[in-house]
Chains A and B, each alone.
Chain A
Amino acid sequence: MKRLLIMDTCTKTLGVALTEGHVVLAEQTIEAVQNHSKFLMPTIEAVIHTAKLTPSQLEGIVVAKGPGSYTGVRIGVTVAKTLAWTLKLPLYAISSLKGMALSEQNLRPFSGWLIPIIDARRNTVFTGAYRKKADGSWESKGDRHISFETWLRLLKEMNEPIRFIGGDVPLFQTQIEAVFGALSELPVFSLHVSSYVEAGTIDYLVDVVHDFVPEYLRLAEAEQKWMAKMKGGHVDV
Protein backbone atom coordinates (compact mmCIF):
# COMPACT_ATOMS: atom_id res chain seq x y z
CA MET A 1 0.00 0.00 0.00
CA LYS A 2 1.77 3.05 -1.24
CA ARG A 3 1.93 6.15 0.94
CA LEU A 4 1.58 9.12 -1.39
CA LEU A 5 1.90 12.87 -0.91
CA ILE A 6 -0.35 14.61 -3.45
CA MET A 7 -0.32 18.30 -4.32
CA ASP A 8 -2.00 20.69 -6.74
CA THR A 9 -1.20 24.43 -7.03
CA CYS A 10 -2.33 25.01 -10.62
CA THR A 11 -5.36 27.17 -9.86
CA LYS A 12 -6.50 29.41 -7.02
CA THR A 13 -7.31 26.27 -5.05
CA LEU A 14 -4.50 24.71 -3.05
CA GLY A 15 -4.87 21.00 -2.46
CA VAL A 16 -2.59 18.69 -0.49
CA ALA A 17 -3.35 15.14 0.60
CA LEU A 18 -1.63 12.17 2.09
CA THR A 19 -3.00 8.77 1.12
CA GLU A 20 -2.17 5.17 1.85
CA GLY A 21 -3.63 2.90 -0.77
CA HIS A 22 -7.15 4.20 -1.05
CA VAL A 23 -7.26 5.52 2.50
CA VAL A 24 -6.99 9.27 2.90
CA LEU A 25 -4.75 9.86 5.92
CA ALA A 26 -5.06 13.63 5.73
CA GLU A 27 -6.25 16.23 3.25
CA GLN A 28 -6.40 19.99 3.14
CA THR A 29 -8.07 22.12 0.51
CA ILE A 30 -7.82 25.89 0.68
CA GLU A 31 -9.91 27.95 -1.71
CA ALA A 32 -8.94 31.27 -3.25
CA VAL A 33 -5.32 31.11 -2.20
CA GLN A 34 -3.64 34.32 -3.26
CA ASN A 35 -0.24 32.97 -2.53
CA HIS A 36 0.72 29.32 -2.94
CA SER A 37 4.26 30.31 -2.09
CA LYS A 38 3.26 31.09 1.49
CA PHE A 39 0.90 28.16 1.99
CA LEU A 40 2.07 25.11 0.06
CA MET A 41 4.97 24.01 2.25
CA PRO A 42 3.22 24.73 5.59
CA THR A 43 0.22 22.72 4.32
CA ILE A 44 2.45 19.80 3.31
CA GLU A 45 4.12 19.99 6.72
CA ALA A 46 0.74 20.06 8.49
CA VAL A 47 -0.67 17.14 6.50
CA ILE A 48 2.37 14.96 7.18
CA HIS A 49 2.46 15.88 10.86
CA THR A 50 -1.28 15.29 11.24
CA ALA A 51 -0.71 11.74 10.08
CA LYS A 52 2.19 11.49 12.57
CA LEU A 53 4.64 10.78 9.77
CA THR A 54 7.96 12.22 8.70
CA PRO A 55 9.08 13.10 5.16
CA SER A 56 11.32 10.03 5.04
CA GLN A 57 8.27 7.78 5.43
CA LEU A 58 6.73 8.93 2.14
CA GLU A 59 6.69 6.42 -0.71
CA GLY A 60 5.75 8.55 -3.68
CA ILE A 61 4.88 12.08 -4.78
CA VAL A 62 1.94 13.01 -7.01
CA VAL A 63 1.71 16.48 -8.53
CA ALA A 64 -0.62 18.33 -10.87
CA LYS A 65 1.78 19.40 -13.63
CA GLY A 66 -0.44 22.04 -15.24
CA PRO A 67 -1.88 23.72 -17.14
CA GLY A 68 -2.81 26.69 -14.99
CA SER A 69 -1.20 29.74 -13.46
CA TYR A 70 2.46 29.74 -14.54
CA THR A 71 3.71 30.70 -11.11
CA GLY A 72 1.41 28.32 -9.27
CA VAL A 73 2.32 25.41 -11.52
CA ARG A 74 6.03 26.10 -11.06
CA ILE A 75 5.76 26.18 -7.28
CA GLY A 76 4.07 22.77 -7.18
CA VAL A 77 6.36 21.19 -9.76
CA THR A 78 9.52 22.53 -8.09
CA VAL A 79 8.51 21.25 -4.67
CA ALA A 80 7.38 17.88 -6.06
CA LYS A 81 10.46 17.23 -8.16
CA THR A 82 12.83 18.37 -5.41
CA LEU A 83 11.14 16.11 -2.84
CA ALA A 84 11.04 13.15 -5.22
CA TRP A 85 14.68 13.58 -6.20
CA THR A 86 16.11 14.15 -2.73
CA LEU A 87 14.01 11.46 -1.02
CA LYS A 88 14.58 9.09 -3.97
CA LEU A 89 10.84 8.56 -4.51
CA PRO A 90 8.84 7.86 -7.63
CA LEU A 91 7.17 10.99 -9.02
CA TYR A 92 3.76 10.85 -10.68
CA ALA A 93 2.43 13.75 -12.74
CA ILE A 94 -1.19 14.29 -13.61
CA SER A 95 -2.88 16.91 -15.75
CA SER A 96 -4.52 19.56 -13.59
CA LEU A 97 -7.57 19.26 -15.87
CA LYS A 98 -7.80 15.52 -15.32
CA GLY A 99 -7.43 16.22 -11.59
CA MET A 100 -10.52 18.39 -11.78
CA ALA A 101 -12.40 15.64 -13.63
CA LEU A 102 -11.39 13.04 -11.02
CA SER A 103 -12.52 15.35 -8.20
CA GLU A 104 -15.89 15.93 -9.86
CA GLN A 105 -16.45 12.29 -10.69
CA ASN A 106 -15.78 11.30 -7.07
CA LEU A 107 -18.28 13.80 -5.77
CA ARG A 108 -21.00 13.92 -8.42
CA PRO A 109 -20.58 11.04 -10.87
CA PHE A 110 -21.48 11.85 -14.48
CA SER A 111 -21.68 9.53 -17.48
CA GLY A 112 -21.10 12.24 -20.10
CA TRP A 113 -18.05 14.37 -20.82
CA LEU A 114 -16.60 16.45 -18.01
CA ILE A 115 -15.24 19.73 -19.37
CA PRO A 116 -12.74 21.31 -16.96
CA ILE A 117 -12.22 25.03 -17.52
CA ILE A 118 -9.30 27.16 -16.33
CA ASP A 119 -9.39 30.81 -17.36
CA ALA A 120 -6.32 31.68 -19.46
CA ARG A 121 -7.32 35.32 -20.11
CA ARG A 122 -8.23 37.14 -23.35
CA ASN A 123 -11.27 34.86 -23.54
CA THR A 124 -9.13 31.76 -23.86
CA VAL A 125 -9.14 28.71 -21.61
CA PHE A 126 -7.07 25.73 -20.66
CA THR A 127 -9.46 22.86 -21.13
CA GLY A 128 -10.05 19.28 -22.16
CA ALA A 129 -12.79 16.66 -22.16
CA TYR A 130 -12.78 13.65 -19.85
CA ARG A 131 -15.21 10.76 -19.58
CA LYS A 132 -15.21 7.79 -17.27
CA LYS A 133 -16.26 4.74 -19.25
CA ALA A 134 -18.46 1.93 -17.92
CA ASP A 135 -15.40 -0.28 -17.43
CA GLY A 136 -13.89 2.34 -15.09
CA SER A 137 -11.21 3.54 -17.48
CA TRP A 138 -10.98 7.16 -18.63
CA GLU A 139 -11.05 8.56 -22.11
CA SER A 140 -9.87 12.03 -22.96
CA LYS A 141 -9.85 14.41 -25.88
CA GLY A 142 -6.53 15.98 -24.98
CA ASP A 143 -5.70 19.12 -23.03
CA ARG A 144 -5.52 22.34 -24.96
CA HIS A 145 -5.25 26.12 -24.81
CA ILE A 146 -8.05 27.43 -27.00
CA SER A 147 -10.30 30.42 -27.57
CA PHE A 148 -13.45 29.84 -25.57
CA GLU A 149 -15.63 30.67 -28.53
CA THR A 150 -13.99 27.99 -30.67
CA TRP A 151 -14.19 25.50 -27.83
CA LEU A 152 -17.92 26.09 -27.42
CA ARG A 153 -18.41 25.51 -31.12
CA LEU A 154 -16.46 22.22 -31.03
CA LEU A 155 -18.39 21.02 -28.00
CA LYS A 156 -21.69 21.91 -29.64
CA GLU A 157 -20.71 19.95 -32.77
CA MET A 158 -19.81 16.96 -30.59
CA ASN A 159 -23.48 16.78 -29.60
CA GLU A 160 -23.02 14.65 -26.49
CA PRO A 161 -23.88 15.25 -22.84
CA ILE A 162 -21.33 17.53 -21.22
CA ARG A 163 -20.77 19.22 -17.85
CA PHE A 164 -18.53 22.22 -17.38
CA ILE A 165 -16.49 22.06 -14.18
CA GLY A 166 -14.08 24.28 -12.27
CA GLY A 167 -14.01 27.41 -10.18
CA ASP A 168 -13.75 29.58 -13.31
CA VAL A 169 -16.98 28.35 -14.93
CA PRO A 170 -19.06 31.29 -13.60
CA LEU A 171 -16.78 33.64 -15.58
CA PHE A 172 -18.00 32.01 -18.77
CA GLN A 173 -21.63 31.36 -17.80
CA THR A 174 -23.14 33.91 -20.18
CA GLN A 175 -21.20 32.57 -23.16
CA ILE A 176 -22.06 28.97 -22.28
CA GLU A 177 -25.76 29.76 -21.94
CA ALA A 178 -25.76 31.58 -25.28
CA VAL A 179 -24.77 28.30 -26.96
CA PHE A 180 -26.26 25.59 -24.76
CA GLY A 181 -29.23 27.38 -23.19
CA ALA A 182 -29.68 28.16 -19.50
CA LEU A 183 -27.65 26.03 -17.12
CA SER A 184 -30.05 24.42 -14.69
CA GLU A 185 -27.78 25.30 -11.80
CA LEU A 186 -24.47 27.01 -11.32
CA PRO A 187 -22.11 24.09 -10.91
CA VAL A 188 -20.61 23.79 -7.46
CA PHE A 189 -17.10 22.54 -7.83
CA SER A 190 -14.61 21.45 -5.25
CA LEU A 191 -11.16 20.04 -5.76
CA HIS A 192 -10.13 16.94 -3.85
CA VAL A 193 -6.59 15.97 -4.62
CA SER A 194 -6.96 12.71 -2.71
CA SER A 195 -8.95 11.55 -5.75
CA TYR A 196 -5.71 11.81 -7.78
CA VAL A 197 -4.53 8.65 -6.08
CA GLU A 198 -5.50 7.04 -9.36
CA ALA A 199 -2.48 8.88 -10.76
CA GLY A 200 -0.21 6.90 -8.51
CA THR A 201 0.01 4.27 -11.18
CA ILE A 202 2.60 3.45 -13.74
CA ASP A 203 0.93 5.52 -16.50
CA TYR A 204 1.77 8.74 -14.74
CA LEU A 205 5.28 7.88 -13.64
CA VAL A 206 7.85 10.54 -14.51
CA ASP A 207 10.86 8.81 -16.08
CA VAL A 208 13.58 11.33 -15.30
CA VAL A 209 12.71 13.46 -12.28
CA HIS A 210 15.45 16.02 -13.11
CA ASP A 211 13.89 16.70 -16.52
CA PHE A 212 10.36 17.09 -15.23
CA VAL A 213 8.85 20.49 -16.07
CA PRO A 214 5.35 21.95 -15.94
CA GLU A 215 2.83 21.46 -18.73
CA TYR A 216 2.34 25.13 -19.60
CA LEU A 217 0.42 24.38 -22.82
CA ARG A 218 1.49 27.80 -24.03
CA LEU A 219 4.77 29.48 -24.92
CA ALA A 220 5.90 32.49 -22.97
CA GLU A 221 4.77 35.69 -24.69
CA ALA A 222 8.33 36.74 -25.58
CA GLU A 223 8.84 33.37 -27.24
CA GLN A 224 5.62 33.61 -29.26
CA LYS A 225 6.72 36.97 -30.60
CA TRP A 226 10.23 35.75 -31.27
CA MET A 227 8.98 32.68 -33.15
CA ALA A 228 6.63 34.85 -35.18
CA LYS A 229 9.51 37.18 -36.06
CA MET A 230 11.66 34.23 -37.09
CA LYS A 231 8.89 33.02 -39.38
CA GLY A 232 8.38 36.54 -40.64
CA GLY A 233 4.69 36.19 -40.00
CA HIS A 234 2.27 37.85 -37.66
CA VAL A 235 1.94 37.07 -33.97
CA ASP A 236 -0.59 34.38 -33.30
CA VAL A 237 -1.44 34.67 -29.62
Chain B
Amino acid sequence: MGEIMSTEKKNIVILSIETSCDETSAAIVKNGTELISHVVHSQIVSHKRFGGVVPEIASRHHVEMITYVIEKAIQDASYDWSEIDAVAVTQGPGLVGALLVGLHAAKALAFAHQKPLIPVHHIAGHIYANALVEPLVYPLIALVVSGGHTELIYMKAPGYFEVIGETRDDAVGEAYDKVARKLNMPYPGGPHIDHLAKQGKATYSLPRAWLEEGSLDFSFSGLKSAVINLMHNLEQKNEPISPENMAASFQESVLDVLIQKTEQALERYSVNHLIVAGGVAANLGLRAELEKLKKRKGIQISIPPLALCTDNAAMIGAAGYVAYQNGVRAGMDCNAEPGLNLDDFSS
Protein backbone atom coordinates (compact mmCIF):
# COMPACT_ATOMS: atom_id res chain seq x y z
CA MET B 1 0.00 0.00 0.00
CA GLY B 2 1.39 3.36 -1.00
CA GLU B 3 1.69 6.02 1.60
CA ILE B 4 -0.75 8.80 1.03
CA MET B 5 0.25 12.12 2.49
CA SER B 6 -2.61 14.45 2.92
CA THR B 7 -2.66 17.89 4.41
CA GLU B 8 -6.42 17.69 4.56
CA LYS B 9 -7.71 16.60 7.93
CA LYS B 10 -10.16 13.74 7.71
CA ASN B 11 -13.66 14.63 8.79
CA ILE B 12 -14.98 12.70 11.75
CA VAL B 13 -18.69 11.99 11.52
CA ILE B 14 -20.52 10.77 14.61
CA LEU B 15 -24.01 9.36 14.93
CA SER B 16 -25.20 10.25 18.41
CA ILE B 17 -28.12 9.03 20.52
CA GLU B 18 -29.64 10.48 23.70
CA THR B 19 -32.45 8.88 25.76
CA SER B 20 -31.58 9.79 29.34
CA CYS B 21 -34.98 11.23 30.26
CA ASP B 22 -38.06 11.99 28.17
CA GLU B 23 -36.61 12.98 24.80
CA THR B 24 -35.73 10.37 22.19
CA SER B 25 -33.06 12.01 20.06
CA ALA B 26 -30.47 11.23 17.39
CA ALA B 27 -28.08 13.43 15.45
CA ILE B 28 -25.26 13.41 12.94
CA VAL B 29 -22.42 15.71 13.95
CA LYS B 30 -19.29 16.44 11.91
CA ASN B 31 -16.03 17.21 13.71
CA GLY B 32 -17.85 18.03 16.92
CA THR B 33 -18.83 21.44 15.61
CA GLU B 34 -21.10 21.01 12.62
CA LEU B 35 -24.64 19.78 13.10
CA ILE B 36 -25.63 17.86 9.96
CA SER B 37 -28.99 16.53 11.14
CA HIS B 38 -30.91 16.49 14.38
CA VAL B 39 -34.11 14.74 15.42
CA VAL B 40 -35.75 15.19 18.83
CA HIS B 41 -38.94 13.42 19.76
CA SER B 42 -40.35 14.81 23.00
CA GLN B 43 -42.67 12.69 25.15
CA ILE B 44 -43.79 15.62 27.24
CA VAL B 45 -47.42 15.37 26.12
CA SER B 46 -47.60 11.83 27.47
CA HIS B 47 -46.01 12.71 30.82
CA LYS B 48 -48.06 15.86 31.39
CA ARG B 49 -51.04 13.80 32.54
CA PHE B 50 -48.92 12.46 35.41
CA GLY B 51 -47.51 15.87 36.39
CA GLY B 52 -43.94 14.75 35.76
CA VAL B 53 -41.80 12.21 33.96
CA VAL B 54 -42.73 8.61 34.82
CA PRO B 55 -39.61 6.48 34.28
CA GLU B 56 -41.42 3.31 33.13
CA ILE B 57 -43.53 5.25 30.62
CA ALA B 58 -40.45 7.11 29.36
CA SER B 59 -38.66 3.81 28.73
CA ARG B 60 -41.66 2.42 26.85
CA HIS B 61 -41.88 5.47 24.60
CA HIS B 62 -38.15 5.28 23.84
CA VAL B 63 -38.57 1.73 22.50
CA GLU B 64 -41.47 2.89 20.32
CA MET B 65 -39.51 5.74 18.78
CA ILE B 66 -35.84 4.81 18.83
CA THR B 67 -35.32 3.38 15.33
CA TYR B 68 -37.65 5.96 13.72
CA VAL B 69 -35.62 8.77 15.25
CA ILE B 70 -32.24 7.31 14.28
CA GLU B 71 -33.40 6.52 10.76
CA LYS B 72 -34.65 10.06 10.28
CA ALA B 73 -31.36 11.54 11.50
CA ILE B 74 -29.42 9.39 9.01
CA GLN B 75 -31.85 10.13 6.16
CA ASP B 76 -31.93 13.89 6.82
CA ALA B 77 -28.14 13.91 6.66
CA SER B 78 -28.15 11.78 3.48
CA TYR B 79 -25.28 9.79 4.95
CA ASP B 80 -24.69 6.09 4.79
CA TRP B 81 -22.75 3.91 7.18
CA SER B 82 -19.54 4.11 5.17
CA GLU B 83 -19.45 7.82 6.03
CA ILE B 84 -20.10 7.41 9.76
CA ASP B 85 -17.00 6.96 11.94
CA ALA B 86 -18.47 6.20 15.35
CA VAL B 87 -21.62 5.89 17.44
CA ALA B 88 -21.84 8.07 20.56
CA VAL B 89 -24.46 7.57 23.23
CA THR B 90 -25.40 8.96 26.63
CA GLN B 91 -24.19 6.45 29.23
CA GLY B 92 -25.47 8.47 32.19
CA PRO B 93 -26.55 10.08 34.37
CA GLY B 94 -30.28 9.75 33.86
CA LEU B 95 -33.17 7.33 34.27
CA VAL B 96 -31.67 3.87 34.02
CA GLY B 97 -34.52 2.29 32.04
CA ALA B 98 -34.50 5.19 29.60
CA LEU B 99 -30.72 5.20 29.21
CA LEU B 100 -30.73 1.46 28.48
CA VAL B 101 -32.85 1.86 25.35
CA GLY B 102 -30.52 4.38 23.69
CA LEU B 103 -27.47 2.48 24.86
CA HIS B 104 -28.69 -0.80 23.38
CA ALA B 105 -29.64 0.77 20.09
CA ALA B 106 -26.16 2.32 20.00
CA LYS B 107 -24.45 -0.96 20.89
CA ALA B 108 -26.44 -2.85 18.24
CA LEU B 109 -25.52 -0.26 15.60
CA ALA B 110 -21.84 -0.17 16.56
CA PHE B 111 -21.76 -3.96 16.44
CA ALA B 112 -23.73 -4.32 13.20
CA HIS B 113 -21.52 -1.83 11.36
CA GLN B 114 -18.29 -2.52 13.27
CA LYS B 115 -17.85 1.07 14.45
CA PRO B 116 -16.36 2.31 17.70
CA LEU B 117 -18.81 2.99 20.54
CA ILE B 118 -18.27 6.24 22.45
CA PRO B 119 -19.90 6.55 25.88
CA VAL B 120 -20.79 10.15 26.74
CA HIS B 121 -21.61 11.86 30.03
CA HIS B 122 -24.90 13.73 29.74
CA ILE B 123 -23.53 16.88 31.38
CA ALA B 124 -20.48 16.87 29.12
CA GLY B 125 -23.07 16.93 26.35
CA HIS B 126 -24.85 19.98 27.78
CA ILE B 127 -21.53 21.83 27.97
CA TYR B 128 -20.40 20.84 24.48
CA ALA B 129 -23.71 21.94 22.96
CA ASN B 130 -21.88 25.26 22.82
CA ALA B 131 -19.22 23.86 20.52
CA LEU B 132 -21.92 23.66 17.85
CA VAL B 133 -22.31 27.44 18.05
CA GLU B 134 -18.84 28.83 18.80
CA PRO B 135 -15.45 27.50 19.88
CA LEU B 136 -14.87 26.88 23.57
CA VAL B 137 -12.05 28.95 25.09
CA TYR B 138 -10.13 27.05 27.76
CA PRO B 139 -9.86 27.25 30.66
CA LEU B 140 -13.54 27.82 31.25
CA ILE B 141 -16.29 27.51 33.81
CA ALA B 142 -19.59 25.86 32.94
CA LEU B 143 -22.81 26.40 34.85
CA VAL B 144 -25.21 23.55 34.10
CA VAL B 145 -28.78 24.17 35.26
CA SER B 146 -31.67 21.84 34.47
CA GLY B 147 -34.44 19.73 35.93
CA GLY B 148 -31.88 17.15 36.98
CA HIS B 149 -28.70 19.17 37.50
CA THR B 150 -27.17 22.23 39.10
CA GLU B 151 -23.43 22.13 38.71
CA LEU B 152 -20.39 24.37 38.36
CA ILE B 153 -17.64 22.72 36.34
CA TYR B 154 -14.09 23.81 35.73
CA MET B 155 -12.51 22.74 32.43
CA LYS B 156 -8.83 23.43 31.88
CA ALA B 157 -8.70 21.51 28.58
CA PRO B 158 -11.00 19.68 26.13
CA GLY B 159 -12.55 16.63 27.74
CA TYR B 160 -11.30 17.60 31.22
CA PHE B 161 -14.04 18.10 33.79
CA GLU B 162 -13.73 19.07 37.43
CA VAL B 163 -16.98 19.48 39.33
CA ILE B 164 -16.33 22.42 41.69
CA GLY B 165 -19.89 22.93 42.89
CA GLU B 166 -23.12 20.93 42.80
CA THR B 167 -26.51 20.78 44.42
CA ARG B 168 -26.76 18.85 47.64
CA ASP B 169 -30.48 18.25 47.26
CA ASP B 170 -32.91 19.47 44.58
CA ALA B 171 -31.76 20.54 41.15
CA VAL B 172 -32.77 24.08 40.33
CA GLY B 173 -35.30 22.99 37.68
CA GLU B 174 -36.80 20.56 40.17
CA ALA B 175 -37.33 23.41 42.68
CA TYR B 176 -39.01 25.43 39.92
CA ASP B 177 -41.35 22.53 39.12
CA LYS B 178 -42.29 22.01 42.75
CA VAL B 179 -42.98 25.68 43.41
CA ALA B 180 -44.96 25.86 40.17
CA ARG B 181 -47.12 22.97 41.32
CA LYS B 182 -47.80 24.79 44.58
CA LEU B 183 -48.85 27.82 42.52
CA ASN B 184 -51.17 25.54 40.51
CA MET B 185 -49.24 25.83 37.28
CA PRO B 186 -48.88 22.91 34.87
CA TYR B 187 -45.78 20.78 34.43
CA PRO B 188 -43.10 21.67 33.49
CA GLY B 189 -43.30 24.71 35.74
CA GLY B 190 -40.04 26.54 35.05
CA PRO B 191 -41.19 28.66 32.09
CA HIS B 192 -44.45 29.55 33.90
CA ILE B 193 -42.63 30.84 36.99
CA ASP B 194 -40.21 32.78 34.80
CA HIS B 195 -43.12 34.38 32.95
CA LEU B 196 -45.06 35.15 36.14
CA ALA B 197 -41.99 36.54 37.90
CA LYS B 198 -41.60 39.19 35.20
CA GLN B 199 -45.01 40.59 36.13
CA GLY B 200 -44.35 40.67 39.86
CA LYS B 201 -42.01 42.11 42.49
CA ALA B 202 -39.89 40.25 45.03
CA THR B 203 -41.98 41.37 47.99
CA TYR B 204 -41.86 38.13 49.99
CA SER B 205 -38.83 37.44 52.12
CA LEU B 206 -37.30 34.09 51.23
CA PRO B 207 -34.00 32.52 52.31
CA ARG B 208 -30.83 32.12 50.26
CA ALA B 209 -28.77 29.02 50.97
CA TRP B 210 -25.12 30.10 50.87
CA LEU B 211 -23.93 27.00 52.76
CA GLU B 212 -20.55 27.16 54.47
CA GLU B 213 -18.03 29.91 53.73
CA GLY B 214 -16.34 29.44 50.36
CA SER B 215 -18.50 26.53 49.22
CA LEU B 216 -19.60 26.53 45.59
CA ASP B 217 -22.29 23.95 46.30
CA PHE B 218 -26.00 24.67 46.06
CA SER B 219 -29.10 23.76 48.03
CA PHE B 220 -32.62 24.51 46.88
CA SER B 221 -34.84 22.26 48.98
CA GLY B 222 -34.90 24.76 51.88
CA LEU B 223 -36.04 27.50 49.55
CA LYS B 224 -38.73 25.29 48.06
CA SER B 225 -39.98 24.40 51.57
CA ALA B 226 -39.89 28.07 52.59
CA VAL B 227 -42.20 28.95 49.69
CA ILE B 228 -44.58 26.13 50.55
CA ASN B 229 -44.62 27.03 54.27
CA LEU B 230 -45.07 30.73 53.60
CA MET B 231 -48.01 30.05 51.31
CA HIS B 232 -49.49 27.67 53.83
CA ASN B 233 -49.25 30.30 56.59
CA LEU B 234 -50.82 32.97 54.43
CA GLU B 235 -53.64 30.63 53.49
CA GLN B 236 -54.22 29.82 57.18
CA LYS B 237 -54.48 33.53 57.97
CA ASN B 238 -56.75 34.02 54.97
CA GLU B 239 -54.34 36.57 53.57
CA PRO B 240 -54.28 37.01 49.79
CA ILE B 241 -51.29 35.61 47.95
CA SER B 242 -49.90 37.32 44.89
CA PRO B 243 -48.65 34.52 42.61
CA GLU B 244 -46.69 37.07 40.57
CA ASN B 245 -44.85 38.38 43.62
CA MET B 246 -44.32 34.88 44.98
CA ALA B 247 -42.80 33.79 41.67
CA ALA B 248 -40.65 36.92 41.54
CA SER B 249 -39.44 36.40 45.13
CA PHE B 250 -38.62 32.75 44.49
CA GLN B 251 -36.83 33.52 41.24
CA GLU B 252 -34.81 36.32 42.82
CA SER B 253 -33.67 34.03 45.60
CA VAL B 254 -32.61 31.33 43.10
CA LEU B 255 -30.82 33.73 40.79
CA ASP B 256 -29.00 35.51 43.63
CA VAL B 257 -27.37 32.25 44.64
CA LEU B 258 -26.69 31.02 41.11
CA ILE B 259 -25.07 34.27 40.01
CA GLN B 260 -23.03 34.87 43.14
CA LYS B 261 -21.62 31.34 43.23
CA THR B 262 -20.81 31.52 39.54
CA GLU B 263 -19.05 34.83 40.04
CA GLN B 264 -17.01 33.35 42.89
CA ALA B 265 -16.03 30.43 40.66
CA LEU B 266 -14.93 32.76 37.86
CA GLU B 267 -12.72 34.66 40.30
CA ARG B 268 -11.26 31.62 42.00
CA TYR B 269 -10.28 29.92 38.73
CA SER B 270 -9.52 33.13 36.82
CA VAL B 271 -11.22 32.09 33.59
CA ASN B 272 -12.61 34.33 30.87
CA HIS B 273 -15.24 32.09 29.36
CA LEU B 274 -18.46 31.08 31.08
CA ILE B 275 -20.74 28.53 29.48
CA VAL B 276 -24.30 28.27 30.71
CA ALA B 277 -26.18 25.14 29.67
CA GLY B 278 -29.16 22.94 30.50
CA GLY B 279 -32.88 23.56 30.23
CA VAL B 280 -32.95 26.34 32.85
CA ALA B 281 -30.54 28.35 30.66
CA ALA B 282 -33.67 29.29 28.73
CA ASN B 283 -34.90 31.24 31.80
CA LEU B 284 -35.20 34.92 30.86
CA GLY B 285 -34.57 36.11 34.39
CA LEU B 286 -31.33 34.14 34.46
CA ARG B 287 -30.32 35.49 31.06
CA ALA B 288 -30.85 39.08 32.24
CA GLU B 289 -28.69 38.50 35.32
CA LEU B 290 -25.98 36.86 33.21
CA GLU B 291 -25.98 39.92 30.96
CA LYS B 292 -25.22 42.08 34.00
CA LEU B 293 -22.51 39.67 35.12
CA LYS B 294 -20.93 39.85 31.68
CA LYS B 295 -20.76 43.68 31.85
CA ARG B 296 -19.47 43.61 35.42
CA LYS B 297 -16.69 41.07 34.79
CA GLY B 298 -15.88 41.75 31.16
CA ILE B 299 -15.97 38.08 30.28
CA GLN B 300 -17.35 36.02 27.44
CA ILE B 301 -20.62 34.22 28.24
CA SER B 302 -22.09 31.59 25.93
CA ILE B 303 -25.58 30.20 26.13
CA PRO B 304 -26.60 27.70 23.46
CA PRO B 305 -29.82 28.34 21.54
CA LEU B 306 -32.93 26.95 23.20
CA ALA B 307 -33.12 23.84 21.01
CA LEU B 308 -29.65 22.85 22.22
CA CYS B 309 -30.33 23.72 25.89
CA THR B 310 -32.90 21.03 26.51
CA ASP B 311 -31.89 17.37 26.21
CA ASN B 312 -30.80 16.47 22.69
CA ALA B 313 -28.45 14.18 20.79
CA ALA B 314 -26.59 16.96 18.98
CA MET B 315 -24.80 17.85 22.19
CA ILE B 316 -23.89 14.17 22.70
CA GLY B 317 -22.35 14.15 19.22
CA ALA B 318 -20.33 17.26 20.03
CA ALA B 319 -19.07 15.86 23.35
CA GLY B 320 -18.64 12.43 21.72
CA TYR B 321 -16.25 13.94 19.20
CA VAL B 322 -13.95 15.23 21.96
CA ALA B 323 -14.08 11.84 23.70
CA TYR B 324 -13.40 10.11 20.37
CA GLN B 325 -10.35 12.29 19.76
CA ASN B 326 -9.16 11.56 23.31
CA GLY B 327 -9.39 7.82 22.63
CA VAL B 328 -12.45 7.05 24.75
CA ARG B 329 -14.09 3.78 23.65
CA ALA B 330 -16.58 1.38 25.21
CA GLY B 331 -16.96 -2.36 24.78
CA MET B 332 -20.14 -4.31 24.14
CA ASP B 333 -20.47 -4.82 27.90
CA CYS B 334 -20.97 -1.07 28.40
CA ASN B 335 -23.73 -0.53 30.95
CA ALA B 336 -25.97 2.44 31.68
CA GLU B 337 -24.76 4.40 34.70
CA PRO B 338 -27.66 6.36 36.21
CA GLY B 339 -25.30 8.06 38.68
CA LEU B 340 -22.29 8.48 36.40
CA ASN B 341 -19.73 10.88 37.84
CA LEU B 342 -18.48 13.69 35.61
CA ASP B 343 -15.01 13.76 37.21
CA ASP B 344 -14.60 10.08 36.32
CA PHE B 345 -15.58 10.76 32.77
CA SER B 346 -12.62 13.13 32.18
CA SER B 347 -10.44 11.89 29.35
298-336 of chain B: CB within 8 A of chain A? 331-333, 335-336
Residue of chain A at shortest CB distance from B96: A71
Q: Mark B4-43, 1 if CB is under 8 A from A, else 0.
A: 0000000000000000000000000000000000000000
**16 contacts across the A-B interface (CB closer than 8 A):** A41-B108, A41-B332, A56-B112, A70-B59, A71-B96, A71-B97, A74-B59, A74-B60, A74-B63, A79-B104, A86-B67, A86-B112, A211-B64, A220-B56, A222-B54, A222-B57
Interface of A is mostly: helix
Partner pick for B111 among A55, A74, A220, CB 8 A cutoff? A55
Across-interface contacts of A226 in B (CB, < 8 A): 49-50
Contact between chains at A220 and B97 (CB < 8 Å): no
Name the contact of A82 in the complex, choosing from B49, B64, B66, B332 (C-beta under 8 A).
B66
Q: Does B248 lie at the interface of the complex (its beta carbon under 8 Å from any beta carbon of A)?
A: no
Q: Is the CB of A82 within 8 A of B104?
A: yes
Residues in A with CB closer than 8 Å to B108 are: 41, 78-79, 82-83, 86
Residue A181 interfacial (CB < 8 Å)? no
Chain B: interface residue total (CB-CB under 8 A): 33
A181 to chain B, nearest CB (A): 39
- Residues of chain A lying within 8 A (CB to CB) of residue B50: 222, 226
Which residues in window 37-80 of B have CB below 8 A to A?
Answer: 49-50, 54, 56-57, 59-60, 63-64, 66-68, 70-71
Does any Cβ of A come within 8 Å of B292's Cβ? Answer: no
Report the contact-size class of chain A (Cβ under 8 Å from the partner): 35 or more
A176-228 contacts to B (CB < 8 Å): 209-211, 213-214, 216, 220-223, 226
A229 nearest CB neighbor, chain B only: B49
6 pairs of A and B residues whose beta carbons are closest in the complex = A82-B108, A41-B332, A220-B56, A78-B104, A222-B54, A82-B105
A74–B175 Cα distance when bound, in Å, is 32
Task: Write the residues of chain A forming the contact surface with B, with a CB cutoff of 8 angstroms.
Answer: 35, 37-42, 44-45, 54-56, 70-71, 74-75, 77-79, 81-83, 85-87, 209-211, 213-214, 216, 220-223, 226
Contacts of B121 in A (CB 8 A): none
Docked complex Cα distance between A56 and B112 (Å): 7
Q: How far is the CA of A87 from the CA of B67 in the complex (A)?
A: 12
The residue in chain B whose Cβ has the minimal distance to the Cβ of A89 is B112
Residues of A within 8 A of B122 (CB): none
Inter-chain contacts of A221 with B (CB < 8 A): 56
The answer to whether A213 and B60 touch (CB under 8 A), given A78-B66, A83-B108, A86-B109, is: yes
CB neighbours (8 Å) of B104 from chain A are 37, 40-41, 74-75, 78-79, 82
Beta-carbon contact of B111 and A210 below 8 Å? no
In this complex, which of B67, B101, B114, B336 has the most chain A Cβ atoms within 10 angstroms of its Cβ?
A: B67
Q: Are B101 and A42 in contact (CB under 8 A)?
A: no
**Across the interface, do B100 and A71 meet the contact criterion of CB distance under 8 Å?**
yes
- In the complex, A198→B63 CA distance in Å? 26
Please tell me if B168 contacts chain A, counting CB pairs below 8 Å: no
Judge whether B63 and A210 touch: CB under 8 Å: no
Contact of B333 with A42 in the complex, beta carbons under 8 Å = yes
Q: Which residues of B contact A209 (CB under 8 A)?
A: 67
- In the bound assembly, the distance between CA atoms of A70 and B331 in angstroms comes to 24
